[in-house]
Structure 1
Amino acid sequence: MVEHRPFLKLLSHLVLILGVVIVAFPVYVAFIASTHKTTDFITGVMPVLPGSDFFSTYKTILFDGLASSGAPPIGLMLGNSLIMALAISIGKIAISILSAYAIVYFRFPFRQLAFWIIFVTLMLPVEVRIVPTFKVVADLGMLNSYAGLSIPLIASATATFLFRQFFLTVPDELLEAARVDGAGPLKFFKDILLPLSRTNIAALFVILFIYGWNQYLWPLIVTTDSQHYTIVMGIKRMSDVTDAEPQWNLVMAVAILAMLPPVLVVIFMQRLFVKGLVETEK
């Protein structure tokens, strides 16, 4: 039985409100900065209320661009990041769910060894293997391409492990019933396992989309053509200018726009995302 104690209830709400303020305050500062002129920040005093340049700042970013930063138009960078994030998230889920299906439902030599080899790669992130990975990508001619941006980041031991653990909880009776009905491996996978994995796929998609969207180091290395810059690279280039003060209002406006796609993905997939993380009975 849950006890209702007013003091504990008040304390828990205060902690939650404090957490929201800590997380949301930098976003508020970025939005406020995007509504003021660049000269408003020279004094070092940060305005706390919105300014009058909201429409002009975002018009400049969306339609005119910022030539002094050397970055392409904001729409192109957002599109590049979207393509990269979708390719990484969809590719990771597709490869991981198929590899987990093979490990759980097929009997072949060294099956468990194959799984543990995949799992051990968790200790080898992109930063550790970045030099040989770059060499392979360069030799294959995938520099300055969407394939070079996404394919090296597609494999995921974490997603394979999560799908394997879920498949192990699926009752064997479902497999036996599918065999009795004459369903082959692909039909069993498509008609039974995929629908059961819907919430898991949604939760992983949200996590992996944000992972792909926030990539900075790998795109920085494999991309020298501005036509393939991602939005994170664009923000960095806009803030690093030579012999001039960064136009912080434009930088913050781009940062606000860069936050919108991940936020929208989380909002629209929130229900499935939460179910995929907390649901124990399928």
Structure 2
Amino acid sequence: MVERKGALARILPHLVLLTGVAIVAFPVYLALIGATHESSVIANGQMPLTPGGAALDSYYRAIVIGPSRTTREPVGTMLLNSFTMAMLIAVGKIAISLLSAFAVVYFRFPFRKAAFWMIFITLMLPVEVRIYPTYKVAADLGLLDTMAGLTLPLIASATATLLFRQFFMTVPDELVEASKIDGAGPMKFFFDTLLPLSRTNMAALFVILFIYGWNQYLWPLLITTRDDMQTIVIGIKKMIVTSDAITEWQIVMATAVLAMLPPVLIVIVMQKLFVRGLVETEK
């Protein structure tokens, strides 16, 4: 027998969800509004909650010209650097993890389990722990102020390798035998069978890894010295000055809004595959 719920029991979950959305969305709303006002209006702490008339000028200066008092590079360049870095990290991590998991699961070679556990142990060694030797190697190889220097030290992923390994172990052995009967080699089995089955896993990991690469701060701060190589996260930090110079808050707010757009678009575009990759047990 289905019990009838009271009005409060039906409304309360929605009120909690709406309250949570309001708490999360209010800072975003302030950034949107702040980009439409002059810097002096924001700096005096009396910014209204209604839009102003400086939106077009703020976004034009942010994307094309750049803030005059801090960095000489426009936000458009920083967005391109961040997007390129995030894409290379996400695609590179997925590609390397797929191949390493494929080797560990389907190939028989000496010390196979030891190799997997060596990969797994690197989870305890994030880039922050090995920051000095990693920087030293990158500097010795001439990777400072290069896209290779921004991406290569971050491109391996033990987490993605573990996830793909666990998924490959659920693939029925009959598929392997069928591929052998059809005369397919290991790489043909990998590309024709495993990759299509791993599509939702790759989509879910791509969203997570893209946001991971987009939000990187410490490594780009160390590896880049030129303004034309800095990422959007570094650019926002440099725009907020602590000296006597007045921070161009309308440019900062406009830049913060622009910095949110690529990750949000990635999540929206890949939402269905992302959810399926996280919740479905059989692909």
Fold shared, TM-score > 0.5 on shorter chain: yes
Report the residue type matching 2:144 in the other structure: L
Is the 2:86–2:209 contact (alpha carbons within 8 Å) kept by the matching residues of 1? yes
Give 3-state SS (helix, strand or coil) of 1:215's partner.
Answer: coil
Give ranges in structure 2 of 5+ residues lacking alignment. none
2-side partners of 1:127 and 1:14: how far apart?
A: 40
Q: Which residue of 2 aligns with 1:5?
A: 5
1-side partners of 2:5 and 2:181: how far apart?
A: 56
Give 3-state SS (helix, strand or coil) of 1:169's partner.
Answer: coil
How far residue 110 of structure 1 moved from its aligned partner, in angstroms, is: 1.2
Identity of aligned residues (%): 63
Report the residue type matching 2:119 in the other structure: I
Q: Which residue of 1 aligns with 2:254?
A: 253
2-side partners of 1:4 and 1:51: how far apart?
A: 49
Is the 1:37–1:53 contact (alpha carbons within 8 Å) kept by the matching residues of 2? yes
2-side partners of 1:46 and 1:257: how far apart?
A: 20
1:79 has 2:80 as partner: yes
> Could you report, residue by residue, the CA deviation over 1:96-140 in whole angstroms, capped at 9, with x for unpaired residues?
010001001111111111111111111111110000000000011
1:60 has 2:61 as partner: yes
Q: Which residue of 1 aligns with 2:49?
A: 48
2-side partners of 1:91 and 1:180: how far apart?
A: 32
Give ranges in structure 1 of 5+ residues lacking alignment. none
Q: 1:269 to 1:4 in 2, by over 3 A?
A: farther
2-side partners of 1:17 and 1:65: how far apart?
A: 36
1:147 has 2:130 as partner: no
Give 3-state SS (helix, strand or coil) of 1:69's partner.
Answer: coil
2-side partners of 1:132 and 1:228: how far apart?
A: 22
Q: Which residue of 1 aligns with 2:36?
A: 35
Report the residue type matching 2:82 in the other structure: S
2-side partners of 1:120 and 1:37: how far apart?
A: 51
2-side partners of 1:251 and 1:101: how far apart?
A: 45
2-side partners of 1:235 and 1:3: how far apart?
A: 53
2-side partners of 1:274 and 1:18: how far apart?
A: 24
2-side partners of 1:52 and 1:172: how far apart?
A: 64
1-side partners of 2:2 and 2:208: how far apart?
A: 33
How far residue 241 of structure 1 moved from its aligned partner, in angstroms, is: 5.0
Deviates more, 1:112-121 or 1:209-218: 112-121
How far residue 3 of structure 1 moved from its aligned partner, in angstroms, is: 5.7
> Could you report, residue by residue, the CA deviation over 1:184-229 in whole angstroms, capped at 9, with x for unpaired residues?
1000000000000000000100000000011111000010011101
Which of structure 1's runs of 4+ aligned residues deviate more than 6 A? none
Q: 1:211 to 1:4 in 2, by over 3 A?
A: farther
Give 3-state SS (helix, strand or coil) of 2:69's partner.
Answer: helix
Is the 1:202–1:272 contact (alpha carbons within 8 Å) kept by the matching residues of 2? yes
Is the 1:210–1:262 contact (alpha carbons within 8 Å) kept by the matching residues of 2? yes
Report the residue type matching 2:65 in the other structure: D
How far residue 41 of structure 1 moved from its aligned partner, in angstroms, is: 2.2
Q: 1:2 to 1:14 in 2, by over 3 A?
A: farther
Is the 2:43–2:249 contact (alpha carbons within 8 Å) kept by the matching residues of 1? no
What TM-score, normalized to structure 1?
Answer: 0.97
What TM-score, normalized to structure 2?
Answer: 0.96
Report the residue type matching 1:59 in the other structure: Y
